[in-house]
Chains A and B, each alone.
Chain A
Amino acid sequence: MNWAQILGIGLFVSGMQLAMPTALAAVGEAFSERAGVLNLGLEGMMLGAALASFAGEYYAHSATVGVLCGVGVGVLIGGLQALLSVYLKTDQVINGIVIVIFVQGITAFSYERLFRTTKVSPEVPSLPHVRIPGLGGIPWLGAVLFNQNVLFYISFVLALSVWVALYRTRFGLWVRAAGESPQAADSVGVSVDFVRTLALLLCGAMAGFGGAVLIVGDINLFGLNVTAGRGWVAIALVIFGRWNPFVVFGGALLFGITDALQLRIQAASGGSNSAIPFEAFQALPYVLALVVMVIATVTARRSAQPSALGIPFRKGVTE
C-alpha cells in the first residue's frame, strides 16, 4: 500500500470537500441548541434541501437558483420545527424524528414525481474550481483551502459568521440567554420564543445550505439516501465540539479528513478481496462519530450543554 500517496495532498483537498456539508449543518445545529432547542430534524433539513437544490439547478440551469432553493427549503423546515418545538411545545425528540419521517416521505414522492420520466438518472454540471489570487499560490495550504469551488469559500465565511453572531452580537447574547437561562432572558424583556424561532430558521438555512453544497458543489446528482446520516453525524459533532460553533466547525473538518482517509485506504487496499473487509471502512465514520460523542460526553468535567436544552419555555414556570 502506497502510504505517501494516500496521505498526500489529495487527502486534505477531498477531506475539505467531504466535510463541508456536515460542518455547515453542525454549525447551524450548534446555534439552535445554544438557543435551547434540540433540533433532531437536521437530517430531514439536509435531505429536503438536497432535493430542492438539485431540482432548482436542474430546471433553472443555474447553480445559484439551486442553492437558493436548498436554503429556502431548509428555512421552511426550520419554520416547521419552530412551530412544533417553540409554539406547540411538543416533545423535541419526537418533533425531530417526525420531521425526518415527514421530509423523507415528501422527498421520495417529489423526486419520483419530478424525475420519474427521465430515463437515465439526471445530473447537474459540477462547479469550476476558483483559485484565489495570491493565496492560491501558498504551497500545500493554497491547494487545500484556496483552490476550491465558490460554495466552499461561502461556506467558510458563513460558518465563521455564525460564530461571530453568537459571541459578538446582541442577538447572539439573547440566543445564549434563551438556551442557558430563559427565565432570566424573559425577565429583561427578551422574547424567548422569538429568539428560538430565529435560531431555528438560521439552523434551517445552514443545514439547507449544507444540503445544497453537497449536491450542487460535490455530488451533482440526487438519490434518496444521498445524505447518508450526515445530519445525525452533525448532531454528534455538536456534542463533540461542546456547543461552540468554532470548535464544532473545526471538529467537522477533521472528521471530513478522516472520512477521506478511510475512502482512500479502502480504494488502495484492493476492493472486495482485501484482508480488512471494505465494510469496516464504510462503518468507520459512523463508529468514529459515536466514539467522539461518547468521549466528549464522558470526559466533560463541567457540562457545556446549554442548561435549557430540550425544555420548552413557558412563561412563569421555573425549573
Chain B
Amino acid sequence: MTTAEAGLALPPISPRAARLRAAGVSVLGVLLAFVAGGILVLIAGGNPVPAFRSMFSGSLGSPFAIGELLTQAVPLIIIGLGLALAFRGRVYNIGAEGQLFIGALCGGTILLEVHTSSELLLALSMAAAVVGGTLWGLIVGVLRAYWNVNEVISSLLLNYVAIFVFSYAIRRPLADISAANNLASRTIPDSTRLPSLPHFFVHYGIFIALALVPLVGFASGFTPFGFRVGMLGFNPDAARVAGVDTARLIMWLMAVSGGLAGLAGVIQLVGIEGRLDSGLSQNYGFTAIVVALLGRLRALGVLLAALFIAFLNIGGQAMSVDRGLPFSIVLAIEGVFVLFVLVAGRLSRTS
C-alpha cells in the first residue's frame, strides 16, 4: 500500500508562513473544542459555565490537580512521540495499546520473579519492557517491510492478541491468589516503585517523558535518520532510489514506536499501579494517536497536545464528578477536535 502521492503532505522543512498557518489551525481547533464541549454539555442537560469551571479547577486549580494532569500526560507523551515519528514515515502503527501491555508484562515479570537490588531491578524491568514492546512492534514491522502486509490492520489485530496474553498472565502465572478475583498480579516490591515529586504527586516518569521530547525532536528534525524518515513518508520510491534501505527503516520505526509504548507501560506499572492489571492503560495507546495527529507529528506538538488531552481527560473527570455530566463528553470533544484539525489543516494548505 505504498502511495507515492502523499495526501498528507508533510513538508520536511516548512516555510514560516506554513508553520504559522498550522499553528493557527491548532489554536482554532482548541477554541472549537471548547465550543463543541459547551454544546455537548447543553445537550447533556448541563450548564456550560459551571461545567467548564469544574473542568479547570479539577485539572489546574491545585498542585494536586496539576499533578494528576501531568501524570496522565506521561504515557501520552511517551507513546505519542513514537507514533509521531512512525507516522512521519507513513508507517501507521495503531498497535500501541498492545505494545504497552506487552511492555508492562515483560517489565512486570522481571519485577515479580527476579530478586536483586531494587536499582538494578528497576533498570532491568525498563529494559525488558522496551525490548518486549519493540519485539511486539517488530512483528508488524517485519511483515510490512518484507511482504508489504498492511501494518494498520496487523498492528490493530495484534492489540487483541496482546491483551489476551496479558489477561492470561495476570490470571494464572503472575496472579495474586489472595485477591478475591484473579484480575491482578501480585504487587511489585515497594522499593522499585517510582518516587513522586513532593506537593505535586506526579511520579518521576514525567522526567523521562520530558527528556524524550527534545531527544525525539532532535532525532527526527536534525539527523540523517530523521531526514530519511521524512523521505520515506514523502515518497518511498524516491527514497529507495536515493539509496535509503526502506525495509530497514520501516522496521526501525515499528521498533522505536513499539519500544516507547512498552516503556510507557512499565512506567505506568512502577509509577502508578504497582501491579499488573487492566488499569495500566485507559486507552492510552489509542489516545496517543490523537496526540500524534494533533501535535502535527512534531515532538513539541506532541508535548502540547498530550498536555491538552490530559487537561480534557482530568478536567472531564472532575466535571463528571462535580456536575453529574457524562465523562464521554470528553471523548466526543476529542473526536470532533481531531476531525476538525484534519479538515482545517487540509483546507489551510490549499487556500
Chain A interfacial positions (CB closer than 8 Å to B): 38, 40, 84, 88-99, 101-106, 108-109, 111-113, 116, 229, 232-233, 235-236, 239, 272, 277, 279-280, 282-283, 286-287, 289-290, 293-294, 297-298, 305, 309-312, 314, 317, 319
User: Is B216 an interface residue when CB atoms closer than 8 A count as contact?
Assistant: no
A116 to B334, CA, bound (A): 21
Q: Which of B266-321 contact A (CB under 8 A)?
A: 286, 289-290, 293
Given A97-B289, A282-B164, A286-B161, A232 contacting B332 (CB threshold 8 A): no
Q: Which residues of A contact B6 (CB under 8 A)?
A: 91
A to B CB contacts below 8 Å, 13 in the list: A38-B1, A92-B7, A97-B152, A98-B342, A101-B334, A102-B338, A105-B333, A105-B334, A111-B328, A233-B157, A294-B147, A297-B147, A317-B5
Contact of B152 among A90, A93, A108, A294 (CB under 8 A): A93
Identify the closest chain B residue to A298 (Cβ): B147
A112 to B41, CA, bound (A): 12
Given A97-B92, A98-B338, A232-B157, A109 contacting B164 (CB threshold 8 A): no
Given A90-B8, A98-B293, A282-B164, A294 contacting B338 (CB threshold 8 A): no
Q: State the Cβ distance, B325 to closest chain A Cβ, in Å.
A: 9
Give the one of A236, A290, A311, A312 with max B CB within 10 A: A290
A113 close to B5 (CB less than 8 A):
no
A311 to B236, CA, bound (A): 14
5 closest A-B pairs by beta carbon, nearest first, are A105-B335, A91-B8, A108-B328, A109-B332, A102-B335
User: Is B150 an interface residue when CB atoms closer than 8 A count as contact?
Assistant: yes
Choose, from B126-134, B166-174, B197-205, B244-252, the stretch at the interface: B166-174
A59 to B290, CA, bound (A): 34
A312 to B329, CA, bound (A): 33
Given A88-B346, A88-B347, A89-B7, A94 contacting B332 (CB threshold 8 A): no
A16 to B346, CA, bound (A): 43
Q: State the Cβ distance, A26 to closest chain B Cβ, in Å.
A: 12
Q: State the Cβ distance, A248 to closest chain B Cβ, in Å.
A: 14
Given A91-B7, A91-B8, A98-B293, A239 contacting B150 (CB threshold 8 A): yes
A90 to B7, CA, bound (A): 5
A103 close to B7 (CB less than 8 A):
no
B157 close to A290 (CB less than 8 A):
yes
Given A280-B164, A282-B164, A109 contacting B40 (CB threshold 8 A): yes
Q: Which residues of B contact A290 (CB under 8 A)?
A: 153-154, 157-158, 161
Identify the closest chain B residue to A95 (Cβ): B342
A188 to B293, CA, bound (A): 39
Q: Which residues of B contact A311 (CB under 8 A)?
A: 3-5
B161 close to A287 (CB less than 8 A):
yes
Q: Which of B77-104 contact A (CB under 8 A)?
A: 90, 92, 94
A106 close to B152 (CB less than 8 A):
no
Q: State the Cβ distance, A186 to closest chain B Cβ, in Å.
A: 15
User: Is B215 an interface residue when CB atoms closer than 8 A count as contact?
Assistant: no
User: Is B242 an interface residue when CB atoms closer than 8 A count as contact?
Assistant: no
* Given A84-B342, A89-B7, A105-B334: 16 more A-B contacts, CB < 8 Å: A89-B346, A90-B346, A92-B7, A97-B94, A98-B338, A99-B339, A104-B335, A108-B328, A116-B326, A232-B153, A277-B172, A283-B160, A290-B153, A294-B154, A312-B5, A312-B7
A113 close to B338 (CB less than 8 A):
no
A236 close to B168 (CB less than 8 A):
no
Q: State the Cβ distance, A197 to closest chain B Cβ, in Å.
A: 16
Give the one of A92, A108, A233 with max B CB within 10 A: A108
Q: Which residues of A contact B208 (CB under 8 A)?
A: none
Give the one of B148, B335, B338 with max A CB within 10 A: B335
A109 close to B342 (CB less than 8 A):
no
Give the one of B148, B156, B293, B346 with max A CB within 10 A: B156
Identify the closest chain B residue to A305 (Cβ): B1
A111 to B329, CA, bound (A): 11
User: Is B343 an interface residue when CB atoms closer than 8 A count as contact?
Assistant: yes
Q: Which residues of A contact B212 (CB under 8 A)?
A: none
Identify the closest chain A residue to B149 (Cβ): A297
Q: State the Cβ distance, B286 to closest chain A Cβ, in Å.
A: 7
Q: Which residues of A contact B8 (CB under 8 A)?
A: 90-91, 94
Q: State the Cβ distance, A182 to closest chain B Cβ, in Å.
A: 12
A279 to B169, CA, bound (A): 10
Q: Which residues of A contact B171 (CB under 8 A)?
A: 272, 277, 279
Contact of B329 among A38, A101, A102, A109 (CB under 8 A): A109
Q: Which residues of A contact B124 (CB under 8 A)?
A: none
Q: State the Cβ distance, B81 to closest chain A Cβ, in Å.
A: 18
Q: Which residues of B contact A293 (CB under 8 A)?
A: 149-150, 153-154
Identify the closest chain A residue to B147 (Cβ): A298
B7 close to A232 (CB less than 8 A):
no
A100 to B148, CA, bound (A): 23
